Amino acid sequence: MILIILCFGTLFGFGAFFLLAGLLRLPTSASTKAVLTVTNRGRRRKGSLDALLFDMAAKLSEVMRIDGYKRRKLEAQLKSAGLHMTPETYLAKAWVKGGLIALLMIPALLIFPILAPVILFLVVAVFFKEQKQAEEIVQKKREEIEYELPRFVNTIVQELKSSRDVLNILKAYQRSAGEDMKRELEITIADMASGNEETALTRFESRIGSTMLSDVIRGLISVKRGDNGIVYFQMLSMTLKQLELQRLKLEAMKQPGKMRKYSFMLLGCFLLMYLGVLGYVVLEAFGKMF
């Protein structure tokens, strides 16, 4: 009986969804996947499930309301993270994913009630993970760019000895820059070529939100205004090298902790081998006794 109810509920849900999709004139899965592929270029391909979630989130976003400050902050995060969607759609996507997982509680309560708390915990975890997705992408990009700043500053020091053109300095470094840095420099160079160069550099600083990058941008703006800048960037290079050494020391201190679990696994394998041989010898001795 329970299996019949589950089959009926599943088929009824699919039928209701397709009827509502036709009445509301929702876009097809193929068209939604095409839009997601274009707007998420450079990331993994989007499947039918992602397209379905995006459609549901887009409809739910029409009834969501976000206050002004939170919306501006989230909009800036999404732009920096390269997620081409509105803040309402972004939050609605988290609610949709959490809600779909929460629906699993209905069959769980009927078949295996002890799984209900696990599903509830999974709902909360997925909801908060989806809400922090843009923040995590921005943080990862910031860290990648900050790792590259010592080399960037060294390049600026060498280029300033022969040229004062900040735009050409950025173009020269862009060829050997990392993926995240190259993308941001591409945006900044296009912005500088089409408008005010100081404003473009300030936008670059605000997109990343890094204090280390702010020091670099401040020096580049002073060079644009006629300052020498070489001594400033030499001092900044020394500071960044010290920060890089501290970061490497912290990473080195973390390695023993990461290796400890593998050491315990290796110790466990040795113990299993030893106990296996010992057990075989004991069983063989008992066999001879009896």
What pLDDT, on the 0 to 100 scale, is given for residue 89? Answer: 84
Q: Given pLDDT bands bounded at 50, 70 and 90, which one contains residue 41?
A: very low
Contact 119, 102 (CB under 8 A): yes
**What's the gap between Cα 43 and its chain centre?**
11
* CA–CA separation, 217 and 220 (whole Å): 5
What pLDDT, on the 0 to 100 scale, is given for residue 76? Answer: 79
- Mean pLDDT of all residues in the chain? 78
* CA–CA separation, 168 and 189 (whole Å): 9
Mean pLDDT of 36-42: 49
User: What's the chain's length in residues?
Assistant: 290
Q: Given pLDDT bands bounded at 50, 70 and 90, which one contains residue 257?
A: low
| pLDDT above 70 for 119 | yes
Torsion 241-242-243-248 (CA) sign: positive
Per-residue pLDDT tens for 42-69?
Answer: 454 455 567 777 777 777 777 888 888 8
Tokens of 117: 């708390």
Question: Which amino acid is present at 277?
Answer: V
Q: Given pLDDT bands bounded at 50, 70 and 90, which one contains residue 213?
A: confident
Phi, psi torsion values for 240, nearest 5 degrees: -65, -35
Mean pLDDT of 231-252: 83
Mean pLDDT of 212-218: 88
Question: Which amino acid is present at 243?
Answer: L
| pLDDT above 70 for 236 | yes
> Any idea what the Cα angle at residue 94 is, between residues 61 and 70, rounded to 5°?
65
What pLDDT, on the 0 to 100 scale, is given for residue 249? Answer: 78
On the CB side of 207, CA atoms within 13 Å amount to: 22
Q: What single DSSP character describes residue 114?
A: G
Phi, psi torsion values for 45, nearest 5 degrees: -65, 145
What pLDDT, on the 0 to 100 scale, is given for residue 45? Answer: 47
Task: Report the percentage of the chain scoring pLDDT > 90.
Answer: 0
Q: What single DSSP character describes residue 63?
A: T
| pLDDT above 70 for 9 | no
| pLDDT above 70 for 4 | no
Tokens of 48: 């039918």
The pTM for the full model equals 0.61
Quickly tell me which residue has 């205004």 as its tokens: 225
Q: Which of 132, 150, 152 is nearest to 140 (CA)?
A: 132
What pLDDT, on the 0 to 100 scale, is given for residue 42? Answer: 44
CA-only gyration radius of the chain, Å: 28
Per-residue pLDDT tens for 127-142?
Answer: 888 888 888 888 888 8
Question: Which amino acid is present at 174?
Answer: Q
